[in-house]
Structure 1
Amino acid sequence: MDEDGIAVARRCYQAYVDGDRTAIEALIGEEFSFTSPVDNALDRKTYFERCWPNHRNLAGFRFVHLVADADRVFVTYEARTATGEAFRNTEILTIRDGRLVAAEVYFGWPMPHPAPSSGFIDR
């Protein structure tokens, strides 16, 4: 990686917390693609229309794992919302030339976990 991918990842998450659209636009490449369980390869324009407004709901991130491997950074975080709720997600970020070019998001669970320790939730 030309620039430390973990540092780029941290700046992306901080831009969300700060509501800094200028910062996040500078970090996301033109060829950006965003995929999650409910989004399939959104382009940069659609990502900003659909996902960026969520920055208003985020108060902070606590990183559980930040692991770089070649041009990818594997991130697990616990996020706090503006209303005090918390949740955990994992994301795989692809970073090239100091810019985020792809994000895969895997939704986690609310915090604290709704199932009892060593237990599960019947559905």
Structure 2
Amino acid sequence: MPQRSRADVVRSYFAAFINKDRVVVENALSKDFTFTSPYDDAIDRVEYFARCWPNSERIRDAAIERISEHGDGAFVTYKLTMDDGRSFRNTEFITFDGDQIKAVDVYFGATYKEGRFVAQKPN
């Protein structure tokens, strides 16, 4: 059976967030999955579902702008729109182990609401 493309896995992963389909996300992540962002330092699957998955409830749309496959990974740039109208663009580097996502490294972009830049307060 042929392996799915990295881009197909990424699209399925993002669609699962929009559809609030945790089972698809669970199946997409490897057992040794880690997630890193400006707020998270290589957290594991359990912590990822505790911290990050609840955000799916507030996501209205995720528009993938580009996916660039590179070796065992892929860069994806996307625009998320939240239920309150805020939107922001992020880029992630997703590392794969076969058809599963082994790691996600997130790089945050600017936030907008109703087309206007919203300054974020530093922690």
TM-score range relative to shorter protein: 0.7 to 0.9
Shift, 1:113, TM fit: 5.6
SS of alignment partner, residue 22 of structure 1: helix
**1:54-85 deviation per Cα after TM superposition (whole angstroms, max 9, x unaligned):** 00011111112211011111011111111222
- 1:4-83 equivalent positions in 2, closer than 5 A: 4-83=5-84
The answer to whether residue 79 in structure 2 is matched with residue 92 in structure 1 is: no
Corresponding residue for residue 119 of structure 1:
none
Of the three residues 103, 113, 117, the one matched with 1:114 is 117
How far is the alpha carbon of 1:114 from its aligned partner?
2.2
Deviation beyond 4 Å, 4+ runs, structure 1: none
What's the offset of the Cα at 1:92? Answer: 0.4
CA RMSD of aligned residues (A): 1.6
Q: TM-score, length-normalised on structure 1?
A: 0.87
Relative to structure 1, is the Cα distance of residues 73 and 113 closer, same or farther in structure 2, using a 3 angstrom cutoff?
farther
Q: What are the ranges of 5 or more consecutive residues in structure 2 without an aligned counterpart?
A: 119-123
Alignment coverage as a number of residue pairs = 115
* Letter in structure 1 aligned against 2:106: V
Q: Which has the higher contact order (CA 8 A, sep 6+)?
A: 1
**How far apart are the structure 2 equivalents of 1:113 and 1:41?**
32
Residue type of the alignment partner of 2:72 = D
